[in-house]
Amino acid sequence: MKAEKDARLFLLLGILGIFIRYLMPLAGHNFDLDTVFKIARLPLGANYYQDVPIWANWGPICYWFFQLFYRLPGGDSINGFHYYATGLMTLADWTSAWVLWRIFGLRIATIFFLLSPAAMVISGFHCNCEPLLLALAALGYWFYVKSNKEARSDAPFPTSTLVLTGASLAVKHVFAFLPIWMILRPMTWRERFRILFICFGVWVLFLSPYLLSDPGAVIRNIFLYSSNSGGSAIPKLIAWAAEQIGFTNAALTLKPIWFPLFLLMLLGVGWILRTRPWKTAFLFYPISLVSTSSAIALQYIAPACFSLAALSHPRWVLRYLIIPFHVFCFWYYLGHWSELGLWGIGSWLLDHFDPTLQLYWSPGVNLLQLTLLAVLIEQLRVMRKTHVSTLS
């Protein structure tokens, strides 16, 4: 009886979430949609990485969808195209919410799908690829949890989990280090090889037509893409501290260390969590990734919203960090001039404009990063102290 009631409520939740996301194109669109619309207009079979250098820096899966949408009725206008793209990303959000519902319950799914302004704006207005890559990774997570009901920390990863992780990388390489987190866990070397071979093999398989045509273009656009590097919270704090003790131009001088530092922190968290159940460890990856990242942009926040919905211990973290995070997202994403622009946020941010790094959005997103970093540190502290899962 309760299951049927929850299913009906989830359906209503889905309808309301879809309605809210479909209101957002009424506010217009931003540069991100202009870029993907330009890619959508390319001839079928085009090599995106050759034809749109720099801007084509995702995997090809989203571009295939976008080219399809452009050729559907009304898709050749940017307004019609926007609604098609919103539909894809809303379906992706719905999939992630379904995973949260099936694993953690309806309340957690609601927090993500209806009460996460960042997730809604990125799906309904941005139409960036983060919702789709998250949905694929989340489905892989669901297959793992379903196959490991005893929550054993040494349970093998199902092939479905690894294939979906690889497919997520073929949307965008946000979860590129998740397979490394997997192989840090206790297992045989044969199992480690299997994980890396399937995850990265699926990724390369999707990229293979473009790698065979022009490997240099793929490498430059995807693997060497460095836009926004150094604009995140930790590099800015380090550069600021260095300048206080006499370093000049610290942000540019120290730029080569930002990515290695990020990688060290991200893999360090994976090492700390290596003996924890994957049901818990997986949720820490998006938060660790976003909070320690050497690069940041508004859409990068989306995967962390999935994890924040499921983390609820200790209670003060929910009350004093996670809830304010979503409140600030509501004010920021709906008000920022490059987003919905409902209340004209922008002038005070432009006062902090950094002409060297050209990161006009950083102050607000840096605050979100620091909040996520505080959540991460406190969750790890509690886990170490109590030796139990942090999930309700």
Q: Is residue 286 part of a domain?
A: yes
Q: Is residue 26 part of a domain?
A: yes
The pLDDT, as a whole number, for residue 147 is: 93
Q: Is 9 helix (H, G, I), strand (E, B) or coil?
A: helix
CB–CB of 42/51 below 8 Å?
yes
Residue 349 tokens, joined = 């941010």
The pLDDT, as a whole number, for residue 52 is: 86
Q: Domain total for the chain?
A: 1
Q: Is residue 334 part of a domain?
A: yes
Residue 96 tokens, joined = 């992630």
**What are the Cα distances from residue 273, in Å, to 182, 268, 285?**
10, 9, 10
Token pair 């001088």 in the structure block, residue: 253
Q: Is residue 227 part of a domain?
A: yes
DSSP 124: I
Q: Is residue 391 part of a domain?
A: no
Q: Which of 141, 331, 354 is nearest to 243 (CA)?
A: 354
The pLDDT, as a whole number, for residue 391 is: 46
Q: Is residue 301 part of a domain?
A: yes
Residue 281 tokens, joined = 């460890």
The pLDDT, as a whole number, for residue 356 is: 40
Token pair 């299913």 in the structure block, residue: 7
CA 169 to CA 283: how far, in whole Å?
Answer: 17
Q: Which of 104, 119, 102 is nearest to 390 (CA)?
A: 104
Residue 333 tokens, joined = 């994403």
Q: Which of 220, 387, 228 is nearest to 301 (CA)?
A: 228
The pLDDT, as a whole number, for residue 314 is: 58
The pLDDT, as a whole number, for residue 360 is: 40
Token pair 């207009």 in the structure block, residue: 41
Assign residue 11 a region: left if phi > 0, alpha if psi is -120 to 50, beta otherwise? alpha
Full-prediction pTM beyond 0.85?
Answer: yes
CA dihedral sign of residues 265, 268, 274, 280: negative
- Ramachandran angles phi, psi of 177, nearest 5°: -100, 0
Task: Write b or e for each residue in 336-362: b if 16 or more Cβ atoms lie within 10 A of its Cβ, otherwise e.
Answer: bbbbbbeeebbeebeeeeeeebebbbb
Q: Is residue 224 part of a domain?
A: yes
CA 270 to CA 9: how far, in whole Å?
Answer: 36
**Full residue range of the structural domain in which residue 78 is found:** 2-386
Q: Is residue 392 part of a domain?
A: no
Other Cβ atoms within 10 Å of 64 Cβ, number: 14
Average pLDDT across each block of 10 residues of the chain; the chain has 392 residues. List them in order: 84 90 91 92 91 86 96 96 97 95 90 88 93 98 91 87 98 96 96 98 96 90 76 86 82 84 96 93 96 88 91 67 84 79 61 42 77 90 63 43
**What are the Cα distances from residue 243, in Å, to 254, 255, 318, 366?**
11, 14, 35, 19
The pLDDT, as a whole number, for residue 212 is: 92
CB–CB of 233/296 below 8 Å?
yes
CA 266 to CA 286: how far, in whole Å?
Answer: 10
The pLDDT, as a whole number, for residue 251 is: 74
CB–CB of 223/246 below 8 Å?
no
The pLDDT, as a whole number, for residue 283 is: 95
CA 111 to CA 325: how far, in whole Å?
Answer: 12
